[in-house]
């Protein structure tokens, strides 16, 4: 189903302590493993796509910082893994 070395995208959601919802566009790369080992997904990119218009600028900055590689949101998304039911192959055309 998934092709080795190909990149796929999906959507992840994250809520802060005040139940503000943030929508992230995520890019993953699929790595096919040996038959006796599980396949592996590499998180390549996390981009904030949608949030409430009333969200403060300081909160947005915090969320964007936490969604960078190594930040707490990045790590949460990486731990959850790709949204398998909705993953789409990236097209480079």
pLDDT in tens, 13-56: 999 999 999 999 999 999 999 888 999 999 999 999 999 999 99
Q: Is the pLDDT of residue 92 over 80?
A: no
DSSP-derived secondary structure letter, 63 = H
Q: Can you read off the two tokens belonging to residue 63? A: 């969320």
Q: Which pTM does this prediction carry?
A: 0.88
Q: Is the pLDDT of residue 91 over 80?
A: no
Percent share of the chain, pLDDT over 90 = 89
Q: List strands edge to edge, sheet with 40-51.
A: 40-51, 21-31, 7-15, 88-89
């Amino acid at each position: 189903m998934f092709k080795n070395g190909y990149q796929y995208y999906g959507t992840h959601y994250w809520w802060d302590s005040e139940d503000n919802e943030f929508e992230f566009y995520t890019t993953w790369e699929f790595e096919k493993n040996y038959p006796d080992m599980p396949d592996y997904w590499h998180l390549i990119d996390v981009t904030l796509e949608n949030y409430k218009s009333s969200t403060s600028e300081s909160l947005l900055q915090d969320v964007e910082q936490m969604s960078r590689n190594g930040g707490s949101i990045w790590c949460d998304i990486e731990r959850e893994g790709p949204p398998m039911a909705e993953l789409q192959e990236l097209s480079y055309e």
